[in-house]
Amino acid sequence: MPKLTNGASAEDIGLLSALGGMFDEIDPVPPEVVTAGYAAFTWRTIDAELAELAEDSMLAGAGSTRGSDTRLLTFEAPSVSVVVEVTEIGDRRKLVGQLIPACSDTLRIEHPAGATTVTVDGQGLFSADSLPAGPARVALTVPGGGAVVTSWVTV
C-alpha cells in the first residue's frame, strides 16, 4: 500500500476518518469547547505589544490613486513603527517595508498558510515576495526580548 506524505497509508487515513465520523456522531465536541479552544489559541501571544494600523493608503481618500496595485500601510507601537508597501502581483503579494527604528534582524509575516521569515537589514529594510493574498500580520522581537505584532490586515 503506498504511503502518503505524512507517513500514514491511505488505509490508515480511511480508518481514522471513519473513527472520527463515529465519534462526531456519538459524542460530538460541544460548540463552547471549540470556542474555548480558539480563544486559548488567541491568548498564546497576549504578551506581545500591538502595533496598530495608523495609516492605510487605500483608506486615505477618494482622490488617491484608484486602480493602483500598490498600497502603503503604517503600524505604530510605542517601541517601533512598521511601514509596509504591498504590491499586488496577480493573486500573490509582494511586501517591502521598514522598521523604524531598525531593531530586529528578522521578522515573520504571518498568514493563514503559515509564516514567512524574512531578514531585516541594518537600516530596518525587509522584503518578502509571493505571499498569499488575504489576512496577514508582521511579528518581530525588539531588543530586550519583547514581542511586537501588527494588527491583522487583508493584503
Residue 4 lies in a domain: no
| 93-105 mean pLDDT | 96
Please state, for a pLDDT cut of 70, what percent of the chain lies above it: 85
pLDDT for position 66: 52
Q: Answer yes or no: do 52 and 29 share one domain.
A: no
Q: Answer yes or no: do 18 and 62 share one domain.
A: no
pLDDT for position 92: 96
pLDDT for position 103: 93
pTM above 0.75? Answer: no
Q: Answer yes or no: do 119 and 139 share one domain.
A: yes
pLDDT for position 32: 85
Phi, psi torsion values for 69, nearest 5 degrees: -90, 5
Q: Answer yes or no: do 89 and 22 share one domain.
A: no
Residue that the C-alpha cell 498558510 belongs to: 113
| 33-61 mean pLDDT | 79
Residue 67 lies in a domain: yes
Q: Answer yes or no: do 121 and 138 share one domain.
A: yes
Residue 69 lies in a domain: yes
What total of structural domains would you count in the chain? 2
| Residue closest to 153 by CA, chosen among 135, 133, 130, 127 | 135
pLDDT, tens digit (0-9, with 9 covering 90-100), for 2-33? 444 466 788 888 888 898 888 888 988 888 88
Q: Answer yes or no: do 16 and 57 share one domain.
A: no
Residue 5 lies in a domain: no
Q: Answer yes or no: do 68 and 116 share one domain.
A: yes
pLDDT averaged over every residue in the chain? 87
Residue 129 lies in a domain: yes
Residue 131 lies in a domain: yes
Residue 148 lies in a domain: yes
Residue 88 belongs to what domain range? 47-154
The residues that bridge with 70 in the sheet, in sequence order, are: 87
| Residue closest to 51 by CA, chosen among 120, 107, 96, 133 | 107
Residue 65 has pLDDT above 60, yes or no: no
Residue 44 has pLDDT above 70, yes or no: no
Residue 1 lies in a domain: no
Residue 1 has pLDDT above 50, yes or no: no
Q: Answer yes or no: do 22 and 82 share one domain.
A: no
Write the CATH number for 71: 2.60.40.10
What DSSP string describes 107-121?
EEEEETTEEEEEE--
